[in-house]
């Protein structure tokens, strides 16, 4: 599959750090050129220099906040103005929020929904017409292990990722016979800044986590094999099966024990459960 993408362009959102930057590195190693999109332009400029030096990769850096209305259209218009065609879309941008409902920041939650859901949908539908016209293309949407269950104290986040999973699985079936592959990556706990941004600093240091290079490699492998979705890590995969067997009430109650916010000055407890 990667031979057909060599010397073609991939659009990666959330490309400044974490999974997004690793997607860029691994796609560059497969011979792809990259449109890098995120809020932090200086980090993407450094990444673009690294990829050009190591792989000869061409990079178009677009600084954008995808939670702002109109940004997906602006990004695609800039790409078109540069005469580039997107063969592969990696919808990676997103963030989460950990907190109790009586302390909810509604504006921040709505910003999260716009980024995790609305921007992903808009970019997907904006790139699809050209892919359909060519009869080939790929889309990899990043969801989460939490897409398989409701998660207390992260209710809006887990719901947004459930939306991504269901939306992507539907498109996978609709587009498979038209030459376009839509896959969903559902990582569990991964070594990124996710929990620091979500409002649980230090949480990651107390829990087992997967490396970004492993997670991205599994996601791209699933895409190359035209799989509907991918859950990296066998323990995470088993958890997706267990939550189907357990009662919905039990599943949510277990997540309460895992994600209950800690009082000020307290450290996040180590747990062997891996809800995320």
Among 233, 234, 185, 201, CA closest to 20: 185
Please give the residue that has the higher pLDDT: either 3 or 48. 48
Superfamily, domain 2-259: NAD(P)-binding Rossmann-like Domain (3.40.50.720)
Contact 106, 163 (CB under 8 A): no
Indicate the domain borders of the chain.
2-259
Please give the residue that has the higher pLDDT: either 6 or 179. 179
- Give the tens place of pLDDT for each residue, 195-241: 888 887 777 777 788 999 999 999 999 999 999 999 999 999 998 99
Among 147, 142, 156, CA closest to 98: 156
- Give the tens place of pLDDT for each residue, 154-174: 999 999 999 999 999 999 999
The catalytic residues are 157
Dist. CA 182–CA 191, nearest whole Å: 25
Dist. CA 33–CA 210, nearest whole Å: 27
pLDDT bin (cut points 50, 70, 90) of residue 262 is low
């Amino acid at each position: 599959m990667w031979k057909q993408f060599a010397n073609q362009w991939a659009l990666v959102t959330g490309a400044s750090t974490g999974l997004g930057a690793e997607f860029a590195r691994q796609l560059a190693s497969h011979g792809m050129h990259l449109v890098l999109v995120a809020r932090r332009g200086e980090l993407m400029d450094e990444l673009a220099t690294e990829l050009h030096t190591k792989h000869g990769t061409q990079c178009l850096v677009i600084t954008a906040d995808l939670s702002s209305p109109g940004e997906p259209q602006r990004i695609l218009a800039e790409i078109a103005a540069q005469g580039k065609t997107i063969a592969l879309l990696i919808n990676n941008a997103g963030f989460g929020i950990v907190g109790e409902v009586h302390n909810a920041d509604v504006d921040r939650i709505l910003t999260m929904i716009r980024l995790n859901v609305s921007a992903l949908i808009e970019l997907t539908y904006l790139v699809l017409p050209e892919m359909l016209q060519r009869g080939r293309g790929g889309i990899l949407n990043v969801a989460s292990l939490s897409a398989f269950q409701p998660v207390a104290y992260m209710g809006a986040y887990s719901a947004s990722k459930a939306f991504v999973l269901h939306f992507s699985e539907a498109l996978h079936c609709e587009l498979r016979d038209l030459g376009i592959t839509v896959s969903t990556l559902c990582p569990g706990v991964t070594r990124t800044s996710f929990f620091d941004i979500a409002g649980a600093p230090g949480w990651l240091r107390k829990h087992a986590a997967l490396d970004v290079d492993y997670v991205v490699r599994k996601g791209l492998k699933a895409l190359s094999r035209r799989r509907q979705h991918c859950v990296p890590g066998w323990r995470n995969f088993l958890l997706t099966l267990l939550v189907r067997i357990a009662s919905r009430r039990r599943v949510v109650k277990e997540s309460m024990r895992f994600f209950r916010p800690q009082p000020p000055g307290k450290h996040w407890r180590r747990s062997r459960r891996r809800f995320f």
